[in-house]
Amino acid sequence: MLVKRIISTEGITVAAAFDLVKIGEDIGEVAGIGKIGVPVSDSKDLEKILKESKADVYIDFTIAKATVVNAPIAAKCGVNLIIGTTGLTAEDKTMITNEVVKNNVAAVISSNYSIGVGTFMKLCREAAGLLGNDYDVEIIEAHHNQKKDAPSGTAMTVAEIISKEMGGKEFVYGREGVCPRGKEIGIHAVRGGDIVGDHTVMFIGNSERIEIRHQAHSREIFVGGAVLAAQWVCKQKKGVVYEMADVLS
């Protein structure tokens, strides 16, 4: 989907592609759109290929253990970063940020590149600021049964946004047994079938409840946001890590 969207978007093209499989095959054919003259390369050759291709942006939607290796290499090559990998620790993000600053490139790091999710997060921030500590907060996320991490990166980002607006909250992941509620944010993960991604935030007060929900019907929503971010980041101040909220603003 990403390759198809890039090829169909004016002013941007595919300079290189990396994977663990289909190495040597044309990425256009792998993506089902026909040859585009760009072979799939092994990520072990990332530095060499990025320098040869003169790419402007490196887009990474892989797994955390791959991103922490490859993102610094791309930054070292002077290539701007779009990172959508979930499961990165705070230490991982700090390391990538340091590489961005050291190599004077720009980056967008986000757990979700959907434009709708950006709006969802903004609404959650505003609701948390308005409702305050008189309301309990519970976050429920649901994804397909092959998702590797839980809770989702998006759920954690939303929890951090709400916690900041409410003056700092602890996170509780699921509940079992005797567990009286404190001033925490409850975070719950559901895994099953082919759910693309559902996120619901519940603000629960006495005698009323407000729910803010985002449901992804297709992974195409993430592709459009990633391409938008890739075009945007090239025009921004270097040495800075941005969020998807910055892109949408």
120 shares its domain with 81: no
Q: How many domains does the chain have?
A: 2
pLDDT for position 221: 85
> Are 66 and 29 spatial neighbours (Cβ–Cβ below 8 Å)?
no
Mean pLDDT, residues 223-242: 95
- Domain span at residue 83 reads 2-109+220-248
8 shares its domain with 102: yes
pLDDT for position 240: 98
Q: What is the CATH number of the domain that holds 143?
A: 3.30.360.10
pLDDT for position 179: 82
Mean pLDDT, residues 115-137: 94
Phi, psi (5° rounding) for residue 230? Answer: -65, -40
> Are 107 and 82 spatial neighbours (Cβ–Cβ below 8 Å)?
yes
Query: For 26-35, 68-77, 86-95, 176-185, which range has the lowest pLDDT when averaged over its residues?
Result: 176-185
Mean pLDDT, residues 177-206: 94
Beta strands in the chain (DSSP E): 17-18, 40-41, 57-60, 80-83, 107-109, 136-143, 170-173, 184-191, 197-205, 208-216, 241-242
Per the prediction, the chain carries an average pLDDT of 94
227 shares its domain with 189: no
Beta bridge mates, 134: none
Q: How far is CA 36 from the centre of its chain?
A: 27
128 shares its domain with 204: yes
141 shares its domain with 68: no
User: Which residues carry out catalysis?
Assistant: 143, 147
pLDDT at 180 over 90: no
pLDDT at 212 over 90: yes
pLDDT for position 163: 97
Instruction: Tell me the percentage of the chain whose pLDDT exceeds 70.
Output: 100
pLDDT at 177 over 90: no
Query: For 3-7, 48-52, 218-222, which range has the lowest pLDDT when averaged over its residues?
Result: 218-222
156-165: per-residue pLDDT in tens? 999 999 999 9
Mean pLDDT, residues 50-58: 96
Mean pLDDT, residues 188-202: 97
176 shares its domain with 229: no
pLDDT at 86 over 90: no
pTM: 0.80
188 shares its domain with 145: yes
Mean pLDDT, residues 137-164: 95
pLDDT at 248 over 90: no
120 shares its domain with 156: yes
pLDDT at 33 over 90: yes
pLDDT for position 14: 96
Helix or strand holding residue 30 (H, E): helix 27-30
pLDDT for position 183: 87
160 shares its domain with 105: no
125 shares its domain with 198: yes
Q: What is the CATH number of the domain that holds 62?
A: 3.40.50.720
Mean pLDDT, residues 88-103: 96
| Half-sphere exposure (Cβ direction) of 94: Cα atoms closer than 13 Å | 3
> Are 94 and 131 spatial neighbours (Cβ–Cβ below 8 Å)?
no
197 shares its domain with 226: no
Q: Place 246 in a pLDDT band, splitting at 50, 70 and 90.
A: very high
pLDDT at 84 over 90: yes
157 shares its domain with 97: no
Quote the CA–CA distance of 185 and 140 in Å, as a whole number. 11
Quote the CA–CA distance of 200 and 88 in Å, as a whole number. 22
